[in-house]
Amino acid sequence: MSSPFVRRRRLATELRALREQRGLTADEVAAQIYRSRMMVSKLENARCSPNIGVVMKILDVLEAPADQYNDIVTIARDAAERGWWDAYGDAMGARQRIYADLESGAATIREYNQFTIPGALQTPDFIKFIIEMAAAEGRIDFVAERLMEARQRRQAHLLGPQGPRYEIILDEVVVRRPTAPAQVMLNQLRALIETAAKHPRVTVLILPLAADFTGRLLPKSAFFLFDFIDPSDPPMAVVDTVSTDIVHTEHDEIMRYNQRYEHLRQAALSGAASLGLLTDAADDLENRIELSR
């Protein structure tokens, strides 16, 4: 399916551009369809699931040409679709819902992470530990059991037969620095190695500590690059920060993150060498566990 989140943003762009071409304000459009300006504003800023009837009324007011009218109504219908994640409401966490939505229509996903194992590749025990750490920080915006279920559904899609191509660049510190109990971390590393070795559409690359990044800038946050099945859906860069995810669709911003990603990829180990480093890290951790017993 197409990503409803992506289609809402396309719908917003189309409606705003058409309104501006007609020289009308949002207030004037709202008055002619007997709706509030806030509703028009929400549609033009992709802040709500569209009502198809309202969209059609707006297109009538804007005198959209027949072909454009039909295209925009189709986009609106896609934007109003509900995915499996909608059944979870806020219980799975708002941020995870966005990723599930974007992944549903993705053809390729590229990710850089210098802090943790990506959620899409985390084991159940690792997820449980992360949930415990989040709960220990204070108020959480999800239900632990539902978040666990949702994370596993995301994994089933990403690693299933209809999933996207998924490439992740991990900083070596992620696999060397203990961020979970030793046995949980070891099992996580082994699972990561198995997925990288056996899954035809998953590539795990390691950015080694010794990588020479002179003359290039390291990203300050983890980020994702999405390309979608429908070539009309614009690519997106999503930047992961402590409290929110920032979505970029502007061409210049996308190119900026693409360039950063290519710099990381050039400095990263090959797929085979990355698997070797992951295996060494897992073996080292297993030896430390044995020595501590």
Mean pLDDT of all residues in 127-147: 87
pLDDT of residue 32: 95
What is the value of pTM for the model shown?
0.91
Q: Nearest 5°: CA angle at 228, between 225 and 233?
A: 105
Q: What is the pLDDT of residues 33-78, one digit of tens each?
A: 999 999 999 999 999 999 999 999 999 999 999 999 999 999 999 9
pLDDT of residue 155: 93
Q: What percent of the chain has pLDDT over 90?
A: 83
pLDDT of residue 242: 82
Mean pLDDT of all residues in 2-10: 94
With cut-offs at 50, 70 and 90, classify the pLDDT of residue 1.
Answer: confident
CA distance 32 to 25: 11
Highest mean pLDDT: which of 42-46, 94-98, 141-145?
42-46
Which fold would CATH assign to domain 86-292?
A: Endonuclease; Chain A (3.30.870)
- Looking at the predicted structure, is the pLDDT value of residue 10 above 80? yes
pLDDT of residue 134: 86
- Looking at the predicted structure, is the pLDDT value of residue 131 above 80? yes
Q: Are strands 165-171 and 106-113 parallel, antiparallel or unpaired?
A: parallel
CA distance 118 to 18: 39
Q: Using DSSP, state whether 130 is helix, strand or coil.
A: helix
Q: Give span(s): CATH 3.30.870, the chain.
A: 86-292
- Looking at the predicted structure, is the pLDDT value of residue 165 above 90? yes
Q: Nearest 5°: CA angle at 45, between 27 and 56?
A: 65
Q: What is the pLDDT of residues 199-257, one digit of tens each?
A: 999 999 999 999 998 888 889 899 999 999 988 899 999 999 888 899 999 999 999 99
pLDDT of residue 142: 87
The one-letter code for the residue type at 108 is T
Mean pLDDT of all residues in 161-172: 95
Q: Give span(s): CATH 1.10.260.40, the chain.
A: 4-80
Determine contact, residues 101/3, Cβ cutoff 8 Å.
Answer: yes
Q: What is the pLDDT of residues 81-94, one digit of tens each?
A: 999 999 998 899 88
Cα dihedral sign, 86-90-96-98: positive
pLDDT of residue 243: 81
With cut-offs at 50, 70 and 90, classify the pLDDT of residue 166.
Answer: very high
- For domain 4-80, the CATH architecture is Orthogonal Bundle (1.10)
